Amino acid sequence: MEEFHAIVSGRVQMVMFRDFTQRHARRFGVVGTVHNLANGMVEIVAQGSQASLELFLRDLRKGPLLAKVKEVNVEWREPQKIFDSFDIVY
């Protein structure tokens, strides 16, 4: 199992980005969390196979229709904890 931590910047809040992220994570069998940050960015922790995570990242870089993703900063790391689903953290 691989893991990445990502910070997504741009117009990524109030545009259904978290729902989009959760839907695409489930599509690729990725588990983890997504939540909005106070600075207007979105934070994602994702776990899965390397191939699934790469496909997931491809979709995150596009985002939903109303979003304008400026940058996705990704840090690959050892899993910090094991997730069993992909959840939106409020």
Instruction: Report pLDDT digits (tens) over 24-81.
Output: 999 999 999 999 999 999 999 999 999 999 999 999 999 999 999 999 999 999 998 9
- When pLDDT is averaged across residues 9-23 and rounded to a whole number, the result is 99
How far apart (Å, rounded) are the C-alpha atoms in residues 77 and 68?
26
- The answer as to whether 24 is a domain residue is yes
- The answer as to whether 32 is a domain residue is yes
Residue-level pLDDT at 16: 98
Give the count of domains, the chain: 1
* Cβ-contact 86, 22 below 8 angstroms: yes
- The answer as to whether 89 is a domain residue is no
Among candidate residues 27, 36, 58, 73, the one labeled active-site is: 36
Look up 77 and say whether it is catalytic: no
For residue 34, what are the domain limits? Answer: 2-81
Look up 36 and say whether it is catalytic: yes
Among candidate residues 11, 18, 23, 73, the one labeled active-site is: 18
- The type of residue at 4 is F
How far apart (Å, rounded) are the C-alpha atoms in residues 40 and 52?
27
